[in-house]
A and B are shown apart, each in its own frame.
Chain A
Amino acid sequence: MSAAIAFEKARAEGRAALVGYLPAGFPTVDGSIAALTTMVDAGCDVIEIGLPYSDPVMDGPTVRAAAQQALDGGIRTTDVLRVVEAVAATGVPTPVMTYWNPIERYGVERWAADFASAGGAGLITPDITPDYSAEWIAAADQHDLDKVFLLAPSSTDERIAMTTAACRGFVYAAAVMGVTGARTSTSELAGPLVARAKATTDLPIGVGLGVSNGDRAAEIAAYADGVIVGSAFVRTILDHPGDEAAGLASLRALTEDPARGVRRG
């Protein structure tokens, strides 16, 4: 199911959508399914599932620690498909955020077919650009999958137009120049970037990187269609090692905060 459906539903309710992120296999494969379905219960409209990778250049220490834990636990690409299937069964769209090499290794067409049959929404691809993605774009189009490429505050208007034209589902706008990780301050770069993106497309624009709480979510919801929260959720699970119930309770409370935030933005 395309993430666009969840964005449309939120728009119809006069609010922004909340996109929640965790890596698959963190803290375990089953643990990640429990955590992600808890986030659905607590108000996430879209669930972004990370595919753990050995060289995550876009990720700060928090997400890296979680992905490494998943890799140390022996997660395989096929396990990620199992997590996608379980979370998609809740009815929310489930895009996967992945660096490119694992997909290429799995086989682009084979991935698109298996991922579509697991009910996945599409891919968020931080380390490829549309002009080098012909194979993925063809496979995604054939299997009706979302293609979410990233914009940065440094993107030129020309690159923004080229990128949004290649996206399907939504567009990912990075709120800051930098890597993933919760930040407490407001980004002055996100608003202008969203405005420049909106000048080129009718697709919903989601804003991620550094969104840590409900207040930040509300600020972004005032000008964007979606708010993406990742590291803050990862952090709370990292802070409850070995105590799944406490971690999930904390995760639920933490999710409800930005879920309220997107409703008052």
Chain B
Amino acid sequence: MADPEFVASFEKICREYAGTPSLLYHAERLSTRVGARVLLKREDLNHTGAHKVRNVLGRALLTKRMGKSRVIAETGAGQHGVASATAAAYFDLDCTVYMGAVDTRRQALNVARMQLLGAKVIPVESGSATLKDAINEALRDWVASVDHTAYLFGTAAGPHPFPSMVRDFTRGIGDEARAQCLEQYGALPDAIAACVGGGSNAIGLFTAFLEDEDVAIYGFEPGGDGVETGRHAATIHAGEAGVLHGARTYVLQDEDGQTIESHSISAGLDYPGVGPQHAHLAATGRATYIPVTDTEAMEAPALLSRTEGIIPAIESAHALHGGLEVARRLGEEKGPDATVIINLSGRGDKDMGTAIEWFGLGDAEEQK
């Protein structure tokens, strides 16, 4: 990022192709409901429907600059896989996406999108057949193909410098939101909120605000069936220090240091580690990380859809649930001008299969 020409190319593609800066939208009906000003950072409106496009465009640009011809990626929900396939198509690069076999079934629509974009999608059957195993398989590919292949690591986890690159290419979320909030309201927000699986959208939002000590930072982790059940992916809340995928961070692990399978209704958050920068922000107390259960998270899509006409990704629903709780509390403390920015990291189209099951939708006769 030391080369102004590279940065200028990156910013141009983000602006002209991905549609950034994304809107900072005042959700008025939601605000009235919770008694505080709720601002949604509309990353769901980006090309490909999620914040992930920022990272992959930067990484694909870097891949071209390094003279490589192929990219590989892992994906959980498929958002990063679709984004990678898109960037590969845009930059004329070969693309292979590794995806846990469990997730290819949960997210069949995204598999089809990647294939249509020209990517090869490889289902990973080993281990728990989810995101962590897709990462393992991508790393195995990469050690054998590094001379011509770049690994587009999709989240803020993994070995250095992946977390730094993901932060640098996604920090536009927070840079934009901070400037938009100042411009629209003349003040910084009281709090910001994002969901945290590996933590890419969260580090993208948080980075610009780290020095703003009066801005409270909240990360909402996937609480699955509830942290007490052991079926969750709340790594910071319930994990212990360890090394996973080349990063020292919090890890869900057993007494022998074997990784424990994580669980979340959201494939994109279903990871038993977390980006090391989040581990650091948690350890220093700069950010607060709180689990949100599947049941709690699933209240949010219905609420947001019916009050604002926006269907969020289930990942983002975790941030919404937690962020609205924070907004309610701040509204009680400071009144209706209390401001919370919630990162709406992705749109919910890809999650309709899960929504149909959860809410019993899809049958026009039966629908309540």
A residues sitting closer than 8 Å to B (CB atoms) are: 53-58, 60-61, 64, 68, 71, 76-77, 100-106, 127-128, 152, 154, 176-179
Q: How far is the CB of A156 from chain B (nearest CB, A)?
A: 13
Q: Does B360 contact A (CB under 8 A)?
A: no
- If A127-B243, A127-B246 touch, whether A54 touches B259 (CB-CB below 8 Å) is yes
Q: How far is the CA of A58 from the CA of B136 in the complex (A)?
A: 9
Q: Which residue of A lies closest to B240 (CB)?
A: A105
B243 lies within 8 A of A101 (CB): yes
| Contact for B256 among A55, A58, A106, CB less than 8 A | A106
Which 8 pairs between the two chains have the least Cβ-Cβ distance? A105-B257, A178-B144, A102-B257, A101-B257, A54-B259, A54-B258, A57-B139, A101-B243
Docked CA distance A64–B125 (Å): 12
- Report the bound CA distance from A195 to B140 in whole Å: 26
- With beta carbons under 8 angstroms apart, the residue of A105, A152, A177 that contacts B255 is A105
The docked-state distance in angstroms from the alpha carbon of A127 to that of B143 is 12
Q: Is the CB of B257 within 8 A of A179?
A: no
| CB-based contact B143/A179 at 8 Å | yes
Among B136, B139, B146, point to the contact of A154 (Cβ < 8 A): B146
CA distance in complex: A177, B149 (Å): 13
Cα–Cα distance between A55 and B127 once the two chains are bound (Å): 8
B residues 140-183 in Cβ contact with A at 8 Å: 140, 143-147
Whether A104 contacts B257 in the complex (CB less than 8 A), given A55-B132, A57-B139, A127-B243, comes out as yes
Asked whether B244 is an interface residue with its Cβ less than 8 Å from the other chain, the reply is yes
Do residues B243 and A178 form an inter-chain contact, with CB atoms below 8 A?
no
Q: Are B126 and A102 interface neighbours, CB within 8 A? A: no
Closest residue on chain A to residue B128 by CB atoms: A54
Residue interface bits B209-253, CB-to-A below 8 A is 1, else 0: 000000000000000000000000000000000111110000101
Question: Per-residue 0/1 for B166-208: is the Cβ within 8 Å of any A Cβ (1 yes, 0 no)?
Answer: 0000000000000000000000000000000000000000000
- Report the separation of the CA atoms of residues A53 and B259 in the bound assembly, to the nearest whole angstrom: 8
A sample of 10 inter-chain contacts (CB < 8 A) reads: A54-B127, A55-B244, A55-B245, A57-B136, A58-B143, A101-B244, A101-B259, A102-B256, A105-B255, A127-B243
The answer to whether B259 and A55 touch across the interface, beta carbons within 8 angstroms, is: yes
> Which residues from B are CB-within-8-Å of A64?
126
Cβ–Cβ contact B143 & A104, under 8 A:
no
Cβ contact of A104, chosen from B132, B147, B242, cutoff 8 A: B242
Q: Report the separation of the CA atoms of residues A71 and B132 in the bound assembly, to the nearest whole angstrom.
A: 17
Flag if B243 contacts A100 (CB, 8 Å): yes
Q: How far is the CB of A132 from chain B (nearest CB, A)?
A: 9
Neighbour of A177 across the interface among B139, B146, B242, B258, CB < 8 A: B146
Residue of A57, A58, A176 with most chain B CB atoms under a 10 A cut-off: A57
Residues of A within 8 A of B140 (CB): 57-58, 60, 178-179
Using CB atoms, name the residue of chain A closest to B251: A101
B98 to chain A, nearest CB (A): 12
The distance from the CB of A254 to the nearest CB of chain B, in whole angstroms, is 25
CB distance from B246 to the nearest CB of A (A): 7
Contact B144 A179 (CB under 8 A): yes
- Assess the B255–A57 pair: CB atoms within 8 A: no
Extra contacts besides A55-B127, A100-B243, A101-B244 (6): CB < 8 Å: A55-B244, A101-B259, A102-B257, A178-B140, A178-B144, A179-B144
In the bound complex, what is the Cα–Cα distance between A127 and B243 (angstroms)? Answer: 10
Q: Which of B133, B145, B256: most chain A Cβ within 10 A?
A: B256
Give Cα A252 to B224, complex, Å: 49
A76 contacts which chain B residues (CB < 8 A)?
256
Interface pair A102/B258, CB less than 8 Å apart: yes
Nearest residue (CB) in B for A59 is B140
Q: Shortest beta-carbon distance, A109 to chain B, in Å?
A: 15
Closest to B260 in A: A54
Smallest CB–CB gap between B41 and chain A, Å? 33
A154 to B145, CA, bound (A): 11
Residues of A within 8 A of B246 (CB): 127
Complex CA distance for A154 and B146, rounded to whole angstroms: 9
Q: Which residue of A lies closest to B137 (CB)?
A: A57
CA of A76 to CA of B147, assembled, Å: 38
Contact of B144 among A55, A71, A105, A177 (CB under 8 A): A177
- Inter-chain CA distance A76–B256, complex, in Å, is 7
Docked pose: A154 CA to B258 CA in angstroms? 29
| B256 contact set on A, CB distance < 8 A | 76-77, 102, 105-106
Picked from B136, B145, B255, the residue with its CB within 8 Å of the CB of A55 is B136
> Contact between B253 and A101 (Cβ–Cβ < 8 Å)?
yes
Q: CA–CA, A68 to B133, complex, Å?
A: 13
Contact code string B43-56 (vs A, CB < 8 Å = 1, else 0): 00000000000000
- The residue on B at minimum CB distance from A178 is B144
In the complex with contacts A127-B243, A127-B246, A105-B146 CB distance below 8 A: no
A103 to B243, CA, bound (A): 10
The smallest C-beta distance from B243 to any residue of chain A, in angstroms, reads 5
Do the beta carbons of B258 and A178 come within 8 Å of each other?
Answer: no
- The verdict on A105 contacting B253 (CB below 8 Å), with A54-B258, A55-B132, A57-B140 known, is yes
Cα(A24)–Cα(B292), bound, Å? 39
Contact (Cβ within 8 A) B144 A53: no
- Give the docked Cα–Cα distance between A194 and B336 (Å): 69
Query: CA–CA, A205 to B45, complex, Å?
Result: 55
Given A57-B136, A177-B144, A177-B146: A105 in contact with B242 (beta carbons within 8 A): yes
Task: Name B258's closest neighbour in chain A (CB-CB).
Answer: A54
Chain B hits for A68, CB < 8 A = 126
